[in-house]
Amino acid sequence: MPLFLEGVRAQTVRPAEIVVCDGGSTDGTVARLRELGDDLPLRIIVDPGANIARGRNGAIQAATENVLAITDAGCVLESDWLERITAPLLRDPDIDAVSGGYTLIGDTRVQRWTRASSLPLEKLDPAVFLPSSRSFAVRRDAIDRAGRYPEHLTFAGEDTALVLRMKAQGARFATRWDALVHWYPRATLGAFLRQHYYYGLGDGEANSNGRQYLRTAVKWTSLAALCALAVISPWLLLLPPAALLAYAFHLGPLYDWGALPPGERIGGFVFIALKEWSMFAGYVVGLLRGAPGRRES
């Protein structure tokens, strides 16, 4: 939290207002926020039990400005983030939302391997990129037309569902990779797996990104089929490792692994597989059980 507020103070453009929604924390976060942010135009709303989507919506409802810059309080903001992410909206009235950039930081082994398993921004296609709400700006009327963040999802996936709905409505997006925030991924393997399971769960509940998960299923089912073929002949035992090696060489240039130590390259490859398996498991569970709102209706 102190790093976040320091980033806010360092902005080249001062925000007109800062609205933070606390979901009912019991560790003194609200009092600490008020103490550390007493020199800022900060307003804190408390909504005990709010999930991520409801918290974001509560902050949007409480805000008074028409151009909204959205991030997470655990992020570290570049000093020109606010200026850059809002520039397209202030310059062009036809732009509805801006996709900002983000990078991963952290020094634990899991954090380094997580970073190695994430595509660099310059390798992403702005035309199909689905922005994260850790670095996002939007006009109030555009997000209102889309119904804001879907609160019926259990935990995650709210930003993907919102953006897909906005794009289906014809909203125009601009991309500013240089509007950067930095965030700390999970520090342990168990937390990493849970995080991506919840990402997949949210996508399944919202029925988002079905093609992506179909490709994941086909890819890893094909590898399992190669392993099954090895029963026929010992020579075929070479097929699965050869396929994995070819896949790793394919991913290397995409993820810029050439500059990384060998251990981090291997860790990045393993974490891509773990991430995809975890998300796919969550996606299947989300599809089968549906979102809480749909089950109750």
User: Where along the chain do the CATH 3.90.550.10 domains lie?
Assistant: 2-183
**Per-chain mean pLDDT for the chain:** 90
- Which of 24-38, 78-92, 200-214 ranks highest by mean pLDDT? 78-92
291 contacts 152 by C-beta, under 8 angstroms:
yes
Whether residue 222 has pLDDT greater than 90: no
Whether residue 93 has pLDDT greater than 80: yes
Tens-place pLDDT, residues 240-279: 888 889 999 999 999 999 989 999 999 999 999 999 999 9
Q: H or E segment at 158?
A: helix 158-168
Sort 129 into a burial class: Cβ within 10 Å, 0-12 / 13-18 / 19+. Answer: middle
The CATH architecture that domain 2-183 belongs to is Alpha-Beta Complex (3.90)
Whether residue 294 has pLDDT greater than 80: no
Count of C-beta atoms within a 10 Å radius of residue 147: 14
133 contacts 56 by C-beta, under 8 angstroms:
yes
Amino acid 192: pLDDT: 95
Cα angle 257, 262, 268; round to 5:
55
The confidence band for 233, taking pLDDT boundaries of 50, 70 and 90, is confident
Residue % of the chain over a pLDDT of 90: 67
Compute φ and ψ for 137, nearest 5 degrees. -135, 145
> In whole angstroms, how far apart are CA 264 and each of 112, 184, 193, 258?
7, 17, 18, 10
What is the side-by-side order of every strand in the sheet holding 97-104?
67-70, 136-139, 97-104, 173-183, 76-77
Question: Is the Cα dihedral 164, 166, 168, 173 positive or negative?
Answer: negative
Tens-place pLDDT, residues 94-148: 999 999 999 999 999 999 999 999 999 888 888 888 899 999 999 999 999 999 9
243 contacts 269 by C-beta, under 8 angstroms:
no
Amino acid 197: pLDDT: 95
- DSSP letter at 97 equals E
Q: Is 35 helix (H, G, I), strand (E, B) or coil?
A: helix
Sort 128 into a burial class: Cβ within 10 Å, 0-12 / 13-18 / 19+. Answer: exposed
150 contacts 287 by C-beta, under 8 angstroms:
no
Report the phi/psi class of residue 49: left, alpha or beta, with left for phi > 0 and alpha for psi in -120 to 50.
left
3-state secondary structure 169-218: CCCCEEEEEEEEEEECCCCCHHHHHHHHHHHHHHHHHHCCCHHHHHHHHH
Q: Considering the entire predicted model, what is its pTM? A: 0.84
Compute φ and ψ for 186, nearest 5 degrees. -60, 145
85 contacts 137 by C-beta, under 8 angstroms:
yes
